[in-house]
């Protein structure tokens, strides 16, 4: 038996722990651990999976630490610090041991120093708040922080840009994005930057421009909206993942989640698979490989299992409806996905961690 423990945060006051057994494809709810309000994004410490960080996505936003027991239940919150703003919807640990947290509503974020191997926030060092300038009058809505080399990239959905920060959090420059596109989440593979735009529901690819303020043309831009849409559907793309290639899954396919925030049909949201083809040739582009429907409503977060352990599996959940969470299995070397397990005991979830 190969069993995987999965943590799932969401709106509410708990993180749910599930056990996925890949031999008989069962997915069971093990526990619900109390947290502060709205742990809508959770992430483990880079070097220590027994250490979990969760945002409190509320107007007085916060960040909390937890210890994860071997069975996957969380301790009480060990430490809590302010996120420095309104509605933090994303947090990630950096190679420096600091934690980056981004406040969607107030257009700012913090790179928080930790102590004691990450279990506590350093209350001595007052971390400056990074405030993103308003571009062209649009309100800033930073949605993610992505460490790459010696930079932190922050897609800003309101500013139609991707900010380039130093590791300590000072703004060095930015990568402009198409007007009105609403860049939400990004992924990097090799020298290419892949951006998922929420407002235009598009996926784009471009070379990472030279730091700090270079530009590069968009090589390809494709719609991620399902080819057949229910009446009165309205799309707002959410998550993009490019799992590290392995022997079983050698091609770096791009997996994108759609959110139909309008009228939903029985098929639910799709996860769409793309391939980056003819790289570095005049025919370079993004091509649609497959649309896979999940029965979920508004997939905000999804996550692949760990490389060389659970890499065949993807967990996803919706923030609306009552379809719970699903585990999908990659087939055809990653060109396909098939739902292998579902659990509806907690109706909505937004963020996942595989232990």
Q: Which residues in 281-300 contact ligand NAG (CB under 6 A)? A: none
The position carrying tokens 């959940």 is 317
CB atoms within 10 A of CB 43: 23
Q: Which residues in 53-92 contact ligand NAG (CB under 6 A)? A: 67
Class of residue 210 by CB neighbours under 10 A (exposed 0-12, middle 13-18, buried 19+): exposed
CB of 290 to ligand NAG, least distance (A): 27
Query: Could you give the 3-state DSSP secondary structure of residue 121?
Result: strand
Residues that contact ligand NAG, how many (by CB under 6 A): 13
* Beta carbon nearer to ligand NAG, 173 or 347: 173
Could you say which of 213, 244, 278, 333 contacts ligand NAG (CB under 6 A)?
213
Q: Does 210 bind ligand NAG (CB under 6 A)?
A: no
Taking the C-alpha atoms of residue 241 and residue 311, their distance in angstroms, rounded to an integer, is 12
CA-closest candidate to residue 134, choices 171, 185, 166: 171
Query: Could you give the 3-state DSSP secondary structure of residue 127?
Result: coil
Q: Does 231 bind ligand NAG (CB under 6 A)?
A: yes
Residue 94 per-residue DSSP state: -
Q: Does 229 bind ligand NAG (CB under 6 A)?
A: no
CB of 142 to ligand NAG, least distance (A): 16
Stretch that binds ligand NAG, among 21-29, 48-56, 97-105, 313-321 (CB under 6 A): 48-56
Q: Does 119 bind ligand NAG (CB under 6 A)?
A: yes
Q: Does 166 bind ligand NAG (CB under 6 A)?
A: no
CB of 76 to ligand NAG, least distance (A): 13
DSSP string of 240-269, one letter each residue = EE-PPP-SSS-S--EEEE--B-SS--TT--
Q: Does 7 bind ligand NAG (CB under 6 A)?
A: no
Stretch that binds ligand NAG, among 19-27, 43-51, 324-332, 339-347 (CB under 6 A): 43-51
CB of 273 to ligand NAG, least distance (A): 28
Q: Write phi, then psi, for 333 (nearest 5 degrees).
A: 55, 25
Residues paired with residue 338 on neighbouring β-strands, in sequence order = 329
Q: Does 97 bind ligand NAG (CB under 6 A)?
A: no
126 Cβ neighbours under 8 A, 6+ residues apart: none
Class of residue 122 by CB neighbours under 10 A (exposed 0-12, middle 13-18, buried 19+): middle
Query: Going residue by residue from 260 to 279, which x/- string records binding to ligand NAG, judged by CB under 6 A?
Result: ---x----------------
State the first-to-last Cα distance of the chain, in angstroms, to the nearest integer: 16
Could you say which of 8, 16, 27, 51 contacts ligand NAG (CB under 6 A)?
51
Taking the C-alpha atoms of residue 321 and residue 266, their distance in angstroms, rounded to an integer, is 11
Q: Does 234 bind ligand NAG (CB under 6 A)?
A: no
Which positions lie near ligand NAG, rule CB under 6 A?
48, 50-51, 67, 117, 119, 172-173, 212-213, 231-232, 263
């Amino acid at each position: 038996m190969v069993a995987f423990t999965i943590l799932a945060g969401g709106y509410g006051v708990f993180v749910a722990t599930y056990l996925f057994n890949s031999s008989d494809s069962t997915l069971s709810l093990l526990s619900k651990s109390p947290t502060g309000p709205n742990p809508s994004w959770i992430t483990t410490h880079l070097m220590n999976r027994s250490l979990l960080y969760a945002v409190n996505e509320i107007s007085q936003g916060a960040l909390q630490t937890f210890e994860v027991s071997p069975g996957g239940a969380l301790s009480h919150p060990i430490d809590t610090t302010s996120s420095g703003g309104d509605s933090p919807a994303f947090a990630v640990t950096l190679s420096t041991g600091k934690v980056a947290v981004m406040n969607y509503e107030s257009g700012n974020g913090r790179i928080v120093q930790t102590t004691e191997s990450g279990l506590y926030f350093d209350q001595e060092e007052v971390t400056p708040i990074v405030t993103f300038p308003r571009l062209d009058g649009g309100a800033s809505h930073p949605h993610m922080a992505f460490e790459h080399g010696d930079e932190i990239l922050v897609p800003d959905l309101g500013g139609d840009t991707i900010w380039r920060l130093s590791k300590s959090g000072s703004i060095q420059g930015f990568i402009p994005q198409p007007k009105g596109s609403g860049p939400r989440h990004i992924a990097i593979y090799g020298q290419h930057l892949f951006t998922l735009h929420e407002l235009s529901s598009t996926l784009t690819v471009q070379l990472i421009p030279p730091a700090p303020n270079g530009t590069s043309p968009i090589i390809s831009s494709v719609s991620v909206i399902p080819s057949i849409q229910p009446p009165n559907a309205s799309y707002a793309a959410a998550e993009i993942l490019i799992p590290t290639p392995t022997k079983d899954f050698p091609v770096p396919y791009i997996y994108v989640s759609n959110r139909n925030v309008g009228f939903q049909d029985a098929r639910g949201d799709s996860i769409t698979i793309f391939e980056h083809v003819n790289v570095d040739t005049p025919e370079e582009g993004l091509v649609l490989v497959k649309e896979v429907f999940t029965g979920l409503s508004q997939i905000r977060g999804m996550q692949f299992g760990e490389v060389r352990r659970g890499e065949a599996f993807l967990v996803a959940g919706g923030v609306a409806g009552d379809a719970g969470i699903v585990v999908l299995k990659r087939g055809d070397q990653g060109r396909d996905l098939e739902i292998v397990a579902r659990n509806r005991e907690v109706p909505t979830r937004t963020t996942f961690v595989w232990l």
